[in-house]
Structure 1
Amino acid sequence: MTDCARAQLLVSGGSGGDDAGVFSLPARPRLPRQRHGGRRRLILTATVAGVAAGVTAALTLHPPRSPAPRTLTVATWNMCGVRQWHCAGTGSPERKRRALTGLVTNSGARLVLLQEACAGDVAAVRRSLGTSWHTAFRPYLARDATGRATPVHCAEAAQGEAGYAILAGYPLASLTSVPAQQPTVGVTRGILCATVEAPGIRVCDAHLSPAHSDAAHPGWDFRDDQLKALAATVPSRRTVYGGDLNVSPPGPRNPASWVWPAGPYIRQRECAQTSATSRAGRPTHASGHKLDYLFTGLERTRCTVRDLDASDHSALLMRVRTG
């Protein structure tokens, strides 16, 4: 294993249902971007581009394609599966695997963006769902003061490496890693994108660096650069992107609003966004903050926050029209 992160693309199957919370949406005028605070010096140190070489480009073999769906339920969930990251009291690995399986079998999710997941747990769920299900996994890297980067491991040996993943009920293709600035000393998170073949949409799973995440430069903030990279990589319409962005929605009560670029909430709408000016959304974290997001250029029909009782994050589910 080099300092390059590794991506695994696995094949497997599942079923689906629906979520609740239907709302209608008006037209969307463009809004001016708000920005607060000055820029501060950042250097490009450990970038996701530097570890992108390990990402597998696509599956080489596909099972027969299913008809493209006319609607799709997408979920994002931070599993809090890395026990040493203040997750010891959030449930056992078995409980988290049952909760993830339930997002598919009970909530109807056919595309799930995962953060703080363990490779072994994701693989076990994928196998249990069947051969029509696929995963792409990327490990977190811990970078020390010498620049040496090593994968972060989950507590139990069978769980393997900790990372972020895409779980899909359709084949995944064209996997790419999005370059973005990362802490010089600390955890390298990242952005992983793929094309979901049957509905023909581009999807990106992101886990951004929280504030003060660089041990060498605790005053530096990387979220503005990471959000800009995320928003710039997606097409305007047939896309779904999000994950654990580690920031509250933009607005007068959020002093970190300046990190949000143009695009989110304007060119693409957020799961819970009910108007052009709305930035509200139900909390998704035990702290009472909204940290988890799903943005899309497709028509949204449903948005649900669901406590799975297996993490300090709730799952966010969004239904979109793809046909």
Structure 2
Amino acid sequence: MVGHVLLLVAGLLAAPVRTELSVMTWNVCTGTNSDCRLYRAGAVELAENIGRQALSRTARPGVIFLQEFCTGATGTLELWLERRTGRSWTVGSWGLTGHDGKPYACHPDRLGRPRGAQSIAVAVAGEATFETHPLPAPPWYVRRAAVCATVTATVTATVAATVVAPKVRACGTHLSSGAQYDDRQPGAPYRTRQLQRLLEVAARPGYRTIVGGDLNVSPPDGGYGSAAGRRAVAPFYRAYQECDQRGGRRTGGRTREDKKLDYLFAPKGSVRSCHVAREVTLSDHKPVHMEVALRP
């Protein structure tokens, strides 16, 4: 009898359990757009609204992609998340620069205090290393980049099971819009090159890749927006599964006005759920939440 019990316990210890990751992407529109409610929000207000949205789902948040964030709020967001979740967090932020190399500044907060540069950010629960990968960008407007967080695997043994957290690579970005002030040439060629480069830097052998953000393109089967943009994002659907993909159709619910511009990609077959928070009106973009299984 004792032998059977020992064999059962040994089997449980050896069996990995499914590890899930909760991911959110949100263009918070706080830096320079006066039409948004978080415009000129202070660091504490900004961190609290981002954190509350990340915690609004039942699963604990693990990765947060942010666009039109401000570098001055990076430390405040990290501290807010740590205090509210009881876990350590690491936030990597990259500030945009103009064609002249100067920081693309966020407008001051409502009390006139500086908030740093408008930025993209990736927040990760736990320890991570960060890389910033420049992306092709029009020389007359702001520079673009992807921020990638690399989280190394950890092993936790319990009486019931051995939990192996796979190595994760999470890359977030905000691409050119194709507007007259930005990637204004026919077909927005810089955005196409940005997507090609993003696909290259996001993948890393041995890692489970999560990639997303405000890509400023319409989905391939959406039937709206630039045809060049729809073609340019199609390779991501071949390599990954998109959070809000509708069956075989490469489309999804709107995230800004009447279009889908915000994306979360994960390994094929791993997306467990997707939610677009349409009730949120703090920004001109809707937060997108994804639950992804990191192993079967």
Q: TM-score band, normalised by the shorter chain?
A: 0.7 to 0.9
Matched, 1:227 2:195: yes
Q: Work out the CA distance in 1 between the residues paired with 2:88 and 2:105.
A: 28
Instruction: Please list, as runs of the form range in 1=range in 2, the aligned pairs for 1:240-251 lying within 5 A after superposition.
Output: 240-251=210-221
Please name the residue that 2:33 is paired with: 85
Change (3 A) 1:216 1:121: closer
CA contact (8 A) 2:65 2:172 kept: yes
Q: Rate the CA distance shift 1:76–1:322 in 2: closer, same or farther, 3 A.
A: same
Q: Which amino acid aligns with 2:240?
A: Q
Greater helix fraction, Structure 1 or Structure 2: 2
Aligned with 1:266: secondary structure? helix
Aligned partner of residue 310 in structure 1, secondary structure: coil
2:118 matched to which residue of 1? 162
TM-score scaled by length of structure 2: 0.76
How far the C-alpha of 1:177 sits from its partner, in A, is: 2.6
How big is each residue's C-alpha offset from its partner over 1:248-294, in whole Å with a ceiling of 9 and x where there is no partner? 1113723523332553112201001143x312211111x22111000
1:231 Cα offset (Å): 1.4
Q: Deviations over 1:177-209 (max 9, x none)?
A: 334210111111221112123541111101100
Q: Is the 8 A contact 1:184 1:216 kept in 2?
A: no
Q: CA deviation at 1:128?
A: 1.9
Counterpart in the other structure of 2:255: 284
Q: Is the 8 A contact 1:273 1:279 kept in 2?
A: yes
Amino acid at match of 1:272: D
Distance of aligned partners of 1:138 and 1:69 in 2 relative to their CA distance in 1, 3 Å threshold = farther
Cα offset, 1:110, TM superposition? 1.6
SS of 1:273's equivalent in the other structure is coil
Instruction: Read off the aligned partner of 2:203 and give its amino acid letter.
Output: P
Structure ID, larger Rg: 2
Alignment of 1:131-170 (within 5 A): 132-143=88-99, 148-156=100-108, 157-170=113-126
**Aligned length in residues:** 249
Alignment partner for residue 319 of structure 1, among 274, 291, 294?
Answer: 291
For 1:70, the equivalent position in structure 2 comes to: 19
Please tell me whether residue 171 in structure 1 is matched to residue 127 in structure 2.
Answer: yes
**Counterpart residue number, 2:208:** 238
Q: Distance in 1 between matches of 2:46 and 2:17?
A: 30
TM-superposed deviation, 1:232: 2.1
Partner of 2:175: 208
Report sequence identity in percent: 28
CA deviations over 1:220-240 (Å, ceiling 9, x no partner): 721111111111223387111
Q: What are the superposed Cα offsets for residues 108-161 of structure 1, whole Å, 9 maximum, x if unpaired?
A: 322100000012223212112226011001001111xxxx21111222234222
Query: What CA deviation, in whole Å up to 9, does each residue of 1:26-80 have, x standing for no partner?
Result: xxxxxxxxxxxxxxxxxxxxxxxxxxxxxxxxxxxxxxxxx99810100000010
Aligned residue identity for 1:166 = V
What is aligned with 2:52? 102
CA contact (8 A) 1:249 1:257 kept: no
Rounded to whole Å, the distance in 2 between the matches of 1:252 and 1:305 is 16
CA distance in 2, matches of 1:195, 1:294: 17
Instruction: State how far apart, in whole Å, the 2-side matches of 1:119 and 1:257 are.
Output: 34
* Aligned with 2:75 (options 118, 123, 132): 123
SS in 1 for 2:236: coil
Matched position secondary structure for 2:276: strand
Change (3 A) 1:255 1:163: closer
Deviation of 1:90 after TM superposition, in Å, equals 4.4
Name the Cα RMSD after superposition: 2.6
> So what's the TM-score if we normalise by structure 1?
0.70
Cα 1:253–1:264 shift into 2, 3 Å: same
Gaps spanning 5+ residues in structure 2: where? 1-15, 154-164
Check the 8 A contact 1:103/1:109 in 2, yes or no: no
- Is the Cα contact below 8 Å between 1:76 and 1:293 reproduced in 2? yes
Tell me which of 236, 243, 248 is aligned to 1:271. 243
Alpha-carbon distance in structure 2 between the residues aligned to 1:272 and 1:203:
18
Is 2:25–2:262's contact at 8 Å kept on the other side of the alignment? yes
Please say if residues 184 and 214 of structure 1, whose CA atoms lie closer than 8 Å, have aligned partners that are also in contact. Answer: no
Is the CA contact (8 Å cut-off) linking 1:96 and 1:310 kept in structure 2? Answer: no
Aligned counterparts of 2:168 and 2:73: Cα–Cα separation in 1: 26
Structure 1 unaligned residues grouped into runs of 5+: 1-66
